[in-house]
Structure 1
Amino acid sequence: MSKVMKGLLLVLAIALIAVPASANLVATSFGFPVIVQSGTTSAFNQDTAFASDFETLDIDFPVFGDGFELGATAGVVAADGVALTGTANVLPFGPVNLAFPSISQTVEQTQEVTHTDFAQTNEQAEFAYPFVGVGPVALPGFGFGW
């Protein structure tokens, strides 16, 4: 090494020894902040449904349709000297006639349904974690996993 380099190193070493050691301390904070969350829910629900049904049904024996019939429909009934004439569905069946009724049915129904419900919920959650702050740098959880 040259004499110039050795001289520079010596001057640098003396300068470093002569400068006093110092440090600036900053505010440090520790703690466990707690997050608290709470909520309330209220719900009211009402629904209404209406239904209406109208049905009519006519059944004739034997079957009639567009001028087609499968048997006589007129007859005379005599009882105790009184004769009545009427119509009925009569089906000739060998030596006898079978009479079937005409069935007529009408159905009308309505339905109304109302449903009401009410719900109320309350919930609360709390969470705490370690915290350290050094100067302007805050490290939640001490920097582990956060």
Structure 2
Amino acid sequence: MPSLEETQEEIIKEFSECSDWEERYGLLIEIGDTLPSFPEGKKSEDLLVPGCQSRVWVLPEEKEGKLFFSADSDSAITKGMIALLLRVFSGRTRDEIRNASLDFLKEIGLDKHLSMSRRNGLYSMVNRIKSL
């Protein structure tokens, strides 16, 4: 498994190959489509990420000292954002997650090109994962 930093670099490279934001949004939606299906029975209120305009569910599971996450959203772009975060965080130790720099979000431009409500939702997802 690549390191957390290597994973972030891969994401930066993928997004840098897009020529404009329309392409980047398309890539984000494609990334969201790669999320494994989330069990309908697990879509409960206690797994919802607070502070998101869209509905986002995050389910943690710990195995051998590492956290693995499943997630889903009712919005295609938000689903792409949570998929990116899971790609970075899933399979990491609590310390790796807690101490992770998220500069890659700025480098791919999400902090500038998302609406205020989506940006707030993105950081709510980050906070939720880090709190788990």
> Do Structure 1 and Structure 2 share a fold, with TM-score over 0.5?
no
Q: Which has the higher strand share?
A: 1
Q: Which has the higher helix share?
A: 2
**Normalization by structure 2: what TM-score?**
0.17
Specify which structure has the bigger relative contact order, considering alpha-carbon pairs within 8 angstroms and separated by 6 or more residues.
Answer: 1
